[in-house]
């Protein structure tokens, strides 16, 4: 790939001699990661997962579920809450468009358990109450609580 000197400076590539103006293949992975992260920071609204789920997974939260999520935020380290939110988003991106029998009341935590969490990291997660019905609203509420707590 050929870049002008100004473009190379944007990627902090130190080019010398005959390579001046060239980006080598070994730089592509880092360039892609930089671009990917920049796009995520700028354009992705991390506070919602509504675009990834069917309408049936956007039921309003019950008061008891809100209370359990509030307790979780108080008792779980924020780093773990961030990992849970990231895993939640990852699960929903791959599974949120699949139709499930909501009468079975399948706990969403079953899907989080498939991701590498220690038992104590999901200790305060509302495992029984948080089903796929509340997937999107639960995520948005937990994200809001997380943001509030991390700003304090």
Both tokens assigned to 102: 């909501």
Both tokens assigned to 124: 């305060």
- Residue 69: per-residue pLDDT: 97
For the stretch 60-78, pLDDT in tens is 999 999 999 999 999 999 9
- Residue 130: per-residue pLDDT: 94
- Residue 103: per-residue pLDDT: 92
CB-based contact 122:113 (threshold 8 Å): yes
Enter the DSSP assignment of 128: T
Question: Do 67 and 122 reside in the same domain of the chain?
Answer: yes
CB-based contact 22:15 (threshold 8 Å): yes
Of residues 12 and 115, the one with the higher pLDDT is: 115
For the stretch 20-33, pLDDT in tens is 555 556 667 767 77
Residues 6+ apart with CB under 8 A from 1: 22, 23, 28
Question: Do 38 and 102 reside in the same domain of the chain?
Answer: no
Q: Among 13, 28, 43, give the residue marking a domain's end.
A: 43
Question: Do 67 and 32 reside in the same domain of the chain?
Answer: no
Question: Do 131 and 79 reside in the same domain of the chain?
Answer: yes
If we measure between CA atoms, which residue out of 75, 65, 76, 80 comes closest to residue 140?
Answer: 65
Q: Which of 13-17, 21-25, 49-53 holds the top average pLDDT? A: 49-53
Has residue 47 got a pLDDT over 90?
A: no
**CA–CA gap between residue 138 and residue 92 (Å, rounded):** 12
> Across all residues in the chain, what is the average pLDDT?
82
Instruction: Please count the structural domains in the chain.
Output: 2
pTM, entire model: 0.71
Of residues 45 and 2, the one with the higher pLDDT is: 45
Question: Do 38 and 55 reside in the same domain of the chain?
Answer: no
Question: Do 39 and 54 reside in the same domain of the chain?
Answer: no
Question: Do 73 and 143 reside in the same domain of the chain?
Answer: yes
For the stretch 106-122, pLDDT in tens is 888 888 877 778 778 88
- Residue 120: per-residue pLDDT: 84
CB-based contact 69:145 (threshold 8 Å): yes
Whose structure tokens read 């969490």? 117
- Residue 117: per-residue pLDDT: 80
């Amino acid at each position: 790939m050929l870049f002008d000197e100004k473009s190379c400076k944007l990627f902090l590539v130190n080019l010398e001699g005959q390579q001046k103006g060239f980006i080598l293949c070994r730089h592509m992975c880092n360039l892609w990661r930089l671009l990917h992260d920049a796009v995520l920071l700028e354009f992705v609204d991390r506070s919602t997962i509504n675009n990834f789920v069917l309408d049936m997974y956007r039921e309003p939260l019950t008061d008891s579920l809100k209370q359990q999520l509030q307790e979780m935020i108080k008792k779980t380290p924020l780093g773990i809450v961030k990992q849970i939110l990231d895993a939640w988003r990852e699960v929903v991106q791959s599974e949120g468009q699949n139709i499930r029998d909501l009468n079975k009341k399948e706990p969403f935590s079953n899907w989080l358990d498939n991701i590498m969490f220690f038992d104590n990291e999901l200790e305060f997660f509302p495992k029984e109450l948080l089903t796929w019905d509340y997937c999107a609203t639960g995520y948005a509420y937990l994200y809001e609580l997380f943001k509030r707590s991390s700003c304090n």
